[in-house]
């Protein structure tokens, strides 16, 4: 559950069964949250919930400053960060892979072979996720590359079909469960998680 900006949304996501919540530390995002607010949000959710911090071409000092006040479980990088940079913070990391041609995607995955997971998202020039746009789920690489997260325009109505076609290890949602950027609709949130878990059970059979 990405793009969390408020404590009540974080609590609702966890209660609904979200495995992780994502906090965006990129000031260019409509869902940006400052480190102090993020720390307050984190303090109000279960310690068993994974907390993911999202960055876009941040400098190392900023990432370290965020880590100094926010106990993040994982980092997620959505820019042009090098593998060395991503690996330098003593945290597992997720690398965003814009869905384009197969060669370009495979190059990113190969370069970031130490990533904990790869998040496949719709490629929109000038944007770094949260666009609400889907891509052809058949283009998502299959299971020979490690942990794969599907993102991009997912909502309660299409997530089951997306899981059936792409067979991801996890799904990521932001705009698909919102009233406005950063303001989650708790009914949509619950319906999304329920639909995703049901679809995962069907695929597992």
Flag whether 185 is in a domain: yes
pTM: 0.93
Number of domains in the chain: 1
Output the DSSP codes for the chain: -----SHHHHHHHHHHT-SEEEEE--TTSTTB--HHHHHHHHHTS-TTSEEEEEESS--HHHHHHHHHHS--SEEEE-SS--HHHHGGGSS-EEEEEEE--HHHHHHHHHHTTT-SEEEEEE--TT--S-------GGGS--TTSS-EEE-SS--TTTHHHHHHHH--SEE--SGGGEEETTEE-HHHHHHHHHHHHHHHHHHH-
- For the record, the structure tokens of 22 come out as 């994502």
The CATH number that applies at residue 41 is 3.20.20.70
Active-site annotation, residues: 2, 121
Flag whether 159 is in a domain: yes
Flag whether 2 is in a domain: no
Q: Which domain holds residue 187?
A: 7-204
Backbone φ and ψ for 67, nearest 5 degrees, come out as -65, -25
Flag whether 27 is in a domain: yes
Flag whether 1 is in a domain: no
The predicted-structure confidence for 10-60, as pLDDT tens digits, reads as follows 999 999 999 999 999 999 999 999 999 999 999 999 999 999 999 999 999
Angstrom distance (rounded) from CA 78 to CA 11? 25
| Closest residue by Cα to residue 182 from 23, 31, 20, 24 | 31
Flag whether 160 is in a domain: yes
Flag whether 114 is in a domain: yes
The predicted-structure confidence for 82-136, as pLDDT tens digits, reads as follows 999 999 999 999 999 999 878 889 999 999 999 999 999 987 666 656 667 898 9
């Amino acid at each position: 559950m990405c793009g969390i900006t408020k404590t009540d949304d974080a609590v609702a996501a966890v209660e609904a069964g979200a495995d992780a919540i994502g906090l965006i530390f990129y000031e260019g995002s409509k869902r940006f949250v400052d480190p102090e607010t993020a720390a307050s949000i984190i303090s109000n959710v279960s310690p068993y919930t994974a907390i993911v911090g999202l960055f876009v071409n941040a400098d190392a000092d900023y990432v370290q400053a965020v880590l100094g006040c926010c106990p993040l479980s994982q980092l997620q990088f959505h820019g042009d960060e090098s593998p060395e940079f991503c690996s330098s913070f003593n945290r597992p990391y997720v690398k965003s892979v814009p869905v384009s041609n197969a060669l370009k995607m495979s190059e990113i995955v190969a370069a970031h072979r130490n990533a904990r997971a790869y998040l496949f998202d719709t490629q929109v020039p000038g944007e770094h996720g949260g666009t609400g746009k889907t891509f052809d789920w058949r283009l998502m690489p299959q299971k020979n590359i490690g942990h794969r997260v599907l993102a991009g325009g997912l909502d309660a109505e299409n997530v089951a079909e997306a899981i059936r076609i792409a067979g991801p290890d996890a799904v990521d949602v932001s705009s698909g469960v919102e009233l406005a950027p950063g303001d989650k609709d708790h009914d949509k949130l619950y319906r999304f998680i329920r639909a995703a878990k049901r679809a995962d059970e069907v695929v597992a059979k």
